[in-house]
A and B are shown apart, each in its own frame.
Chain A
Amino acid sequence: MAKKALKKVLLIGGGANDFGRESELDVATHQVMHTFADLGIATILIDDNPYSLSLEDSHATTYIQPITVENVRNIIEFEQPDAVYPAVGGTTAFQVLGDLFAQFDYPNLEILGMSLDTVNMVNNPALLAKRLRQIGEPVISSQVVNSVEAAFDIAREIGFPVNIKPMAPKFEASRHTAEDSETLDLVLKIALKQSRIKQVVISQGINGLREVGVQVMRDHHDVNMLIGAVEDMDPVGIHAADSILVTPVQTLSDREFQRLRMAAFRIMRGLDIVGTAHIQFALDPRTDRYYIIKVSPYFDSTSTLVSRSTGYPLAIVAAHVCVNINLTRIVLPNNFAKKMAIIEPVMDRIVVKFPVFAFGEIENAGIKVNRRLNTMQKSAGSTIGIGRSIEEALEKAIRAAHFSNRVFSPDLMSALPENDLIQQLIHPRDNRILLLIEALRRGYTIDELAELTKIDEYYFYKLQNIMELERAVKRNPGDLALLQDAKYYGLSDGLIAKLWNQDFDDVRQLAKNNDLQPTFKAIEPSAGEFPEDVTVYYSTFEQENESERLGDKSVLVVGTGAFRLGDGASGSYVTSTILDEIRANGFQSIIINNNPNDLTLMIQFADKQYIEPLEISDIMNVVELEQPAFVLVPGNRIKLIAALRERNVHVCVIPKDKYTAPGPQHDEREFAINYYFDGTDVHPITITEHVTGKLMFDKNVYTQIYQQKIPKLQLRDTSPGLYQLITNQLPLSTDLGEYQLRPVPFGQIAFLNKVTGINWIRLMIRNILGCQTDADKVLLARLPDVNFKHQVAEMVSNNTDFFQHLQPAGELDSTQFEMGVAMHLIK
């Protein structure tokens, strides 16, 4: 049973999205909140991320406020919670909590899942290293310094390369690696600036070792479970978020693997963590030694990756154990096998996580960036590919990352000079998979490449298979045996069509005529040992298909895929709201998506989830099986929409522009008149004002002054939804010929939802499904003269340190390249 005294828990959210912070914390918050509700525990949530779905959830008392010591303190004072749970708020929550307890004493406020000591250790790598040494776990030798001079003394002593990490960083900060004194000088300046206490940890470099992360669960009776393990294809030295990750672990022997498992359990015990943690190890295969790189007793992108890959309900279980319910006593929702909480997940599939970089978009805007991968995260998002072999999973992950097959085109890199190739093998960039294949094509041996890149030879054999298969397919158009192989190893119809110089439909038809049909397999944690009522599937080309058509009243929603600059968590927020509303209207919802951190892939939101790339062939595979009544597609997928319509699929478009438009320049301001279009009429909602880095809303000022002047516009041949008219001066000139309406960006819809208290997405979905209520009609008729929940609010771009991550040669537009935003309610 849950602790008796526990009636009310405070959850500290993660704040704005940023590098390394997608929607994983919102995913965890949502599940924890619902689990607590089921257990009769009230929750309070503080967060200021407008893309947070949890902030709109009726299961919690929510505070839309910046996550600061002062705000948290006030909430504690007012709400008197019994406990606080920091694990759903990442490093932000840990920092705030550490500061709060350093300044104030809360004898009656329990920290769920760990002690204050552990919170402080998470905030201070030196304290953590000390404790790890005490319990006999190896850490890299390191020292704390507070000046450039002291750091140089130590670097001379331990030798280059060295790693630098800020102490008590202002935000999630990574290791910097310096291979020479010049770089050391630079990274020290950055790290000292990042540290709130002007101290950095300097340690011996471990580049080139192998990196493995394990996700563990522990209850208060010291039952430890290994939930999953992830190996980085890339060696230590490339940030884990930029690495290609593979689960289950492929290249460790059982002995190596079990050693890490026991070490992880000792760490859980040594830090007395109850709940889940992600522990990262560096392994030296030559000396058979390991080091602990990082301990994260909070939800992060690896915990969501493990949860998605295994099908194990990590957040739900963690929420139970942190309120002292034994792992053996957890009753899971009905979808799971009865005792699934306590069975260590096993997998009969391979999941590859592929990073998505925004270099191309930024360079298209004329700004050069540093594409070399290092210890600083550069990727903006990620996708996963799931298959029954590495080849298949990798092909699918890459396809998911790029919406297309372009990347695997064999001739793309043939012009690269030999010297550059070698340089890039040693100093990898975002395109390294292509580069590795190109190197194989040029005849480098696998042993050479493994030595140069520190990537396990196993992966080169796999890449060689892909290369040889593509080569063979290309040389033999129409060859059935090769078509079968190609399908089996994850090549898409689109890529095969391209290699054969044929029409996409001809390839599909040929496959169909020869019974080469996709088979969907369930993602569940027992590898087939137990029957489970599973709703998550991926495709492969094998014997047995496990997914059956849902029924006549299903709606398929095409997800937004990887987060990209300017277009991140808002897509996740919008799509999950869409799914929820579809169900609320008596339809069955189906999502196809591939971002492991996305809200839409929580099983609570749809009747069925397909974790697949979002290319036309993948979507048609699902359409042909499910025969949904509608397919909802975001409007930026113009080609996809056309292709689906060509094939007589009933597509409804979610209004969205193809590209994120730039925001106003520094000395400019922009006004947006926002409308709701119901398919016939255009109804004005409100006006927002936009300056660099900030979107403002003030109902009184704008609406009342300009209400009379808001033009009534016409829209035709487009979907219901939110549209806006952009102008840099108000009132508008009377001649409206020059004005054009554009879809309101998803991020601004999220903001408007929270500010107005009216969920415009839900309204749109009811509209599309023909389920409008009388209340909807009344609301639309009265617009813009309706009461909004808040009167004054603003949405501010997160202070993302682009220089640290990307070293751009110019300033990045904070709208077009938005990484995250926070919102402030003023009135």
Chain B
Amino acid sequence: MSKRYLILADGSIFEGEGFGSRATTFGHIVFNTAMTGYQEIITNQIYHNQIIVFGAPTIGAGGINHDAYESIMPTAKGVIVRDVAEVSTNRQKRMNLNEYLDYHNIPGIAGLDTRALIRHLRKTGPQKASIVDFPDEHAFDQLNATVLTNQQVAAVATPRAYPNPGTGSTVVVIDFGLKHGILRQLSQRDADVTVLPYKTDAEAVLSLDPDGVIFSTGPGDPRDLPASVIELMRELQTRVPLLGIGLGHEIFALANNAQLIQLPFEHHGTNHPVKEVITNAVLYVPQGAGYAIDPASINHDQLIVTHLDLIDDSIQGLRHRDYPAFSVAFFPDSAPGPLEGTTVIDEFFDMMETKDRF
């Protein structure tokens, strides 16, 4: 362990002890306040090119478990935390967090005043950051010169189709860098799943005769995706029951002529109450979005707002007035986080079962 530094585009420097990989990396900095599920968070592809700051004081106590991956290959650019636990490895825990990050070339910094950092980020907003050995002028020059790709989905989504067979409903998942949690939820309901690359056309999807289609989670700004994605959504929503999750929710909004706004504070965590508008029920759900839908841009003849974040009033769910299509900004598959959001998946299955009525 040796001194390493987190530097921010605004010129701030935070010092800590390096762990994981020794690489120098660049990324957007984002903080997550969830207290459990570090492995699921680190392996979530929405964190492609992101340096993740954990609000929880200690992570790593459970090691790395075979059943807690949200992707095969994590693409985060760094992990910042107050303290990393050491643990012995055994059959359940094949690796500890330190070894895992090293193996995947992700650097970490521990022993850093993460509370001060989070309070700082809350004031200064989203920005670029870098993990370096020396916080000198050269490091800042490099940080400022770094252009992070906006083609994040291309970097993490599957390039080719693959099946996840089951004996129940036939579901096609359009992959933008999906969380494994989505597939896990589908498996639990015995769905017969085919995952398709996001550049697929509507005909290829419909040729599989799906009972329903899911537009998955993924990283980045959906406006940087090829226009074909919007077209795909527009076509499919008229034809099959459809669920958009995370990035898929944003695509659903764009396809129905709503506009996106960048959130002044990204909320990444599992503790915000989200209201289901129609029932007034309150759910706690995992969230991790940098964008929200501009409420003023919604055409209410087309879309219904189904879920609202009670803290920042952001739109968390939409439903189409004419088609069996809906979307949620949060992650209804949990992993990590509360399980009450999984009712969204149940609703999707209900919709598929009753689709003939539409």
A interface vs B, CB < 8 Å? 221-223, 225-226, 248-255, 257-259, 261-262, 265, 327-328, 339, 342-350, 388-390, 446-447, 456-458, 461-462, 488, 519, 521, 526-529, 531, 542-544
Contact = CB atoms under 8 A, between A and B. Distances in A.
Question: Which of B40, B82, B270, B335 has the most C-beta atoms of chain A within 10 angstroms of its own C-beta?
Answer: B82
B40 A254 contact: yes
Contact of B114 (A225, A348, A458, A531): A348
A526 B273 CA distance: 13
A756 to B, nearest CB: 48
Contacts of A528: 31, 33, 55, 115, 118-119, 122
Interface string B339-350: 110000000000
B88 A348 contact: no
Contact of A544 (B56, B111, B113, B284): B113
Contact of A458 (B85, B113, B269, B335): B85
29 contacts: A253-B36, A253-B62, A253-B65, A253-B68, A254-B36, A254-B335, A254-B337, A258-B36, A258-B336, A259-B339, A261-B339, A339-B310, A339-B311, A342-B273, A343-B271, A345-B271, A346-B269, A347-B56, A347-B57, A348-B55, A446-B88, A461-B85, A527-B33, A528-B33, A528-B55, A528-B118, A529-B267, A529-B269, A544-B113
A522 B281 CA distance: 32
A457 to B, nearest CB: 6
Specify which of B57, B67, B284 lies most central, judged by the most chain A CB atoms within 10 Å of its CB.
B57
B87 interface: yes
A535 B118 CA distance: 19
Most buried by B among A248, A251, A456, A528: A528
B189 interface: no
Contacts of A447: 88
B83 A328 contact: no
Interface in B51-107: 55-58, 61-62, 65, 67-68, 82-83, 85-88
A348 B116 CA distance: 11
B281 A223 contact: yes
- 6 cross-chain pairs, A with B, having the tightest CB-CB distances, nearest first: A254-B37, A544-B116, A254-B336, A543-B113, A344-B271, A527-B55
B272 to A, nearest CB: 7
B282 interface: yes
Given A223-B281, A544-B116, A457 B36 contact: no
B175 to A, nearest CB: 23
B275 A347 contact: no
Greatest chain A CB density within 10 A among B33, B61, B83, B311 is at B61
A461 B57 contact: no
A255 B85 CA distance: 19
A468 to B, nearest CB: 12
A346 B34 contact: yes
B43 interface: no
A257 B36 contact: yes
B323 interface: no
Nearest to A223: B282
B35 interface: yes
B279 to A, nearest CB: 10
A345 to B, nearest CB: 7
Given A254-B36, A542-B113, A343 B273 contact: yes
A433 B167 CA distance: 54
B188 interface: no
Contacts of B114: 348
A557 B284 CA distance: 40
A250 B61 contact: yes
Contact of A543 (B40, B86, B116): B116
Contacts of A519: 113
A328 B272 contact: no
Given A254-B40, A261-B338, A544-B115, 15 more contacts: A222-B281, A226-B284, A251-B62, A253-B68, A261-B339, A327-B282, A343-B311, A388-B57, A447-B88, A458-B61, A461-B85, A462-B85, A521-B115, A527-B33, A543-B116
B237 to A, nearest CB: 31
Given A258-B339, A390-B58, A249 B36 contact: yes
Contacts of A327: 273, 282
B271 A389 contact: no
A349 B82 CA distance: 10
Given A251-B61, A254-B68, A458-B61, A348 B281 contact: no
A570 B113 CA distance: 39
A327 B284 CA distance: 13
Contact of B58 (A223, A250, A328): A250
Contact of A389 (B83, B88, B122, B269): B83
Contact of B87 (A339, A461, A543, A544): A461
Nearest to A488: B111
Contacts of A261: 338-339
Nearest to B90: A447
B144 to A, nearest CB: 23
Interface in B137-192: none
Contacts of A262: 338-340
A233 to B, nearest CB: 12
B334 interface: yes
A528 B268 CA distance: 12
Contacts of B36: 249, 252-254, 257-258
B55 A343 contact: no
Given A350-B57, A458-B87, A542 B275 contact: no
Given A248-B35, A344-B271, A542-B115, A258 B310 contact: no
B67 A255 contact: yes
A248 B270 CA distance: 15
B2 interface: no
Contact of A248 (B56, B67, B335): B56
Nearest to B38: A254
B207 interface: no
Given A446-B88, A461-B85, A527-B115, A346 B338 contact: no
Contacts of A344: 270-271, 273, 284
A348 B68 contact: no
A339 B114 CA distance: 24
Contacts of A390: 58, 83
Contacts of A254: 36-37, 40, 68, 334-337
Nearest to B86: A461
A543 B14 contact: yes
B275 A389 contact: no
B57 A348 contact: yes
A248 to B, nearest CB: 5
Given A345-B271, A346-B269, A529 B33 contact: yes
A255 B119 CA distance: 29
Contacts of A222: 281
Interface string B25-45: 000000101111100100000
Contacts of B61: 250-251, 456, 458
Interface in B250-283: 265, 267, 269-273, 275, 280-282
A226 B340 CA distance: 12
B82 A389 contact: yes
A542 B56 contact: no
Interface in B112-134: 113-116, 118-119, 122
B57 A328 contact: no
A348 B56 CA distance: 5
Contact of B88 (A223, A457, A531): A457
Interface in B198-247: none
A541 B305 CA distance: 47
A254 B335 CA distance: 7
A777 B62 CA distance: 65
Contact of B57 (A265, A389, A544): A389
A261 B338 CA distance: 8
Contacts of B271: 343-346
A239 B230 CA distance: 59
A456 B33 CA distance: 24
Contacts of A225: 273, 284
